[in-house]
A and B are shown apart, each in its own frame.
Chain A
Amino acid sequence: MIRIELVKRSQQSRVMSVLSPVIAVALTVIVAGIVFFLQGHNPLEGIWYFFLEPITSLWGIEQLVTKATPLVIIALGLAVCYQSNNWNIGAEGQLTMGAIVGSILPVMFPDFVNPVVLPLMLIMAMIGGALFALIPAQLKIRFGTNEILTSLMLVYCSNLFLDWMVRGPWRSPQGYNFPITVDFHEWAILDGHDFGGVYLNLSALIALILVIVLAVVMRSTLKGFEIRVLGQSPRAGAFAGFNHRRMTLFAFALSGALAGLAGMMVVMTEIQKLQPVISPGYGFTAIIVAFLGRLNPVGILIAGLVIASSYLGGEAIQTSLQMSSKVATVIQGVLLFFVLACDTLILYKVRIVAGRAGEVARA
């Protein structure tokens, strides 16, 4: 009788922390191939369209970066939150409120047209997102409410507020009463610049800078140390003179500001006005990106690109092979499952033991 045993390692395996995501992706590719086959398609063709085809053209890379940018920016803020043991689930709402506050300029002051508008909008969006995130933070430190619930519930408030704004006070007079605001003017939008055939805009650059800044802050500054200590042990942090209430406010404000920034840039690049739906769930997907990237800024950058490519791949198998959109969702789920499951390899050794059945019973 052969059985598989998990033996706890004395310390985390460095080799495995690098290898486990690779193993996870490999396993996902195999399972995806089986799924494609069961759907009546050539598995190799399916794998090609899902995993590779989206990044074989310059346009595909451009789309990959566009889709990954908001995910990375939001996940960076969330990672700080989660490391300090604050559970902000409401980034989607902070994204929405940030976009609304930033849009005050082009919607309410359409005649205020000059180069200052763009940076002002970004700053206002960050303030809007941060203030909205401070609501669950304040509720937590003052009344001890569960921030997971309050931040999540506020998502619905913000979405309905946006809905009301674009149907009511901010509805465009030229829009045949459809729920949209006026189109933003030229200084309130972000256009792509040509980088050797790939059109990228400022937002991708901002995301990269943020990755570097946060990587440095988390690794080599006192603030980064404070965030980690308070997250792992509030009591130890208190002895070190760190204030966990102030940390809660800081973490929520930072993640809210980044979500607001991301939301504003999505609106500025892709929609260029406000409408009832401005995000396909970036704020929620970013939670997955944050954990897939192990709450590490560089890891988040990679995770953001992986998750973004799985969305593009999902569209590719739909348009090219006419597979259902549900297949893409299944493969995304399989990917997350394997990534989490393969983490076991970091903490445990797998041993295949040949022994008699009696021994199993005794064990």
Chain B
Amino acid sequence: MKKIALLAGVALAFAVSSADAAKLKACWVYTGPIGDFGYSYQHDQGRLEVEKELGDKVETAYVENVAEGPDAERVFERFAREGCGIVFGTSFGFMDPELKVAKKFPDVKFEHATGYKSADNMGLYNARFYEGRYILGQIAAKESKKGLAGYIVSFPIPEVVMGINSFVLGAQSINPDFKVKIVWVNSWFDPGKEADAAKALFDQGADIIVQHTDSTAALQVAEERGLKGFGQSSDMAKFAPHAQMTAIVDNWGPYYVSRVKAVLDGTWKADNAWDGIKAGAVHMADYANMADDTKKLAQETEAKIAGGWNPFTGPIVDQDGKERYAAGVTAPDGDLLGMNWYVKGIDDKLPQ
């Protein structure tokens, strides 16, 4: 009994010494390592921006490499118990565990990226990455000599399918016969598999690589082979200075800063944020290693999208030849978020 009392005393001492009432603690849960230089890295850049912008008013913490399974719930609860005022879950697989913890801790604010379940104290946020993918598609079609791109993908969830479709729509707007070969690697982060997939796709005749996985591996293979590709999530130019034509950069910083500020001001409310190029959530890295007219086209498209145009504007015909959206009709957000069909011209089957 004495021992327990002693331990409790020590625990209390630590709790008191680490608690600082005036500071807001903002916490992040990452699915990958922050050293992936892709998805989790960019979220962490956002966290660092919060530290820089809000300085003394906040204290931040994060956990990396959290599996999207049974362990996730404990990590969220730990943060809630450690006094985090706002917790950001940065991956789709954290949705249910985060929601459970959110219900248990109604005074803590939660934000979940890329999911669809919310609560009074759990908001949603995502970015319209598909806007950038349309631009990549146009660049690929202009720059590819063979009219064939290789596309490395993780999991057939709507987010990814939406990206493939947008890329192909962009490419077909330049070259209606443009082809895409798709390889699923069933992982968000597996540099070995990603590199193998890139090699296989180049061997099969693709001369441009695009990926919806988080490492720099595919782009580095392109660099070695003297071919071209795009960065994913972050600007990967330093890993492939001659191969990267541009990159879709996830720019979470401004969003994180605004949300943490809202908690500080007491104005935080759960909402559903889905911003794109216009609001700066999606940023295109410098256009490079491409012809001048391609660059000009890319910039024009970027401006058009920033002006409010949606790449998913009809006429859009699906793989089976069925017209999904008539000319001039824009796909509603709900359709995009549940997208489970390919547009015409993709030689791959989605699991149905």
Contacts and interface: CB of A to CB of B under 8 A. Distances in A.
Contact of B68 (A56, A277, A325): A277
Interface stretch (A144-152, A232-240, A313-321, A352-360): A313-321
Interface string B203-215: 0000000000000
Interface string B1-29: 00000011011001000100000000100
B96 interface: yes
A316 B62 CA distance: 11
Interface residues of A, number: 39
Interface stretch (B153-161, B194-202, B271-279): B153-161
Contacts of B64: 318, 324-325
A312 B77 CA distance: 12
Contact of A168 (B33, B61, B157, B352): B352
> Which of A48, A59, A177, A277 gathers most chain B CB within 10 Å?
A177
Given A178-B92, A319-B79, A322-B62, A266 B70 contact: yes
A322 B63 CA distance: 8
A276 B337 CA distance: 20
A29 B206 CA distance: 53
A56 B7 contact: yes
Interface residues of B, number: 41
A177 B70 contact: no
Nearest to A322: B61
Contacts of B186: 163
B82 A179 contact: no
B256 to A, nearest CB: 17
Given A177-B339, A275-B93, A56 B65 contact: no
A11 B93 CA distance: 53
B67 A280 contact: yes
Nearest to B82: A319
Interface string B68-92: 1111011101110110000000001
B61 A319 contact: yes
Nearest to A166: B351
B338 interface: yes
Contacts of B309: none
A176 B351 contact: no
A17 B245 CA distance: 63
A324 B44 CA distance: 13
Interface in A274-324: 275-280, 311-312, 315-316, 318-320, 322, 324
A37 interface: no
A267 to B, nearest CB: 9
B340 interface: yes
Contacts, number: 92
A332 B277 CA distance: 44
Nearest to B17: A45
Interface string A320-354: 10101100000000000000000000000000000
Contacts of B92: 178
Given A48-B10, A179-B155, A271 B82 contact: no
Contacts of B8: 56
A270 interface: yes
Contacts of B156: 167, 179
Contacts of B62: 318, 322
A279 B71 CA distance: 9
A52 interface: yes
Given A167-B351, A176-B116, A320-B82, A280 B338 contact: no
Nearest to B60: A322
> Which of A52, A53, A56, A275 gathers most chain B CB within 10 Å?
A56
B50 to A, nearest CB: 15
Given A59-B77, A319-B63, A322-B61, A177 B157 contact: yes
Contacts of A315: 63, 71, 74-75, 78
Given A280-B69, A315-B74, A318-B63, A178 B82 contact: no
Given A48-B14, A59-B81, A177 B340 contact: yes
Contacts of B73: 270
A179 B96 CA distance: 13
Contacts of A66: 74
Contacts of A270: 69-70, 73
A163 B155 CA distance: 10
Contacts of A279: 69-70
Contacts of A112: none
B351 A164 contact: yes
10 contacts: A53-B11, A57-B11, A177-B340, A178-B158, A270-B69, A270-B70, A315-B63, A319-B61, A320-B82, A325-B65
The 7 A-B pairs of least Cβ separation, nearest first, read: A270-B70, A177-B340, A176-B338, A277-B69, A56-B11, A167-B351, A280-B67
Given A56-B11, A177-B338, A319-B75, 8 more contacts: A67-B74, A168-B351, A177-B157, A270-B70, A278-B69, A280-B69, A316-B78, A320-B82
Interface of A: 45, 48, 52-53, 56-57, 59, 63, 66-67, 163-164, 167-168, 176-179, 266, 270-273, 275-280, 311-312, 315-316, 318-320, 322, 324-325
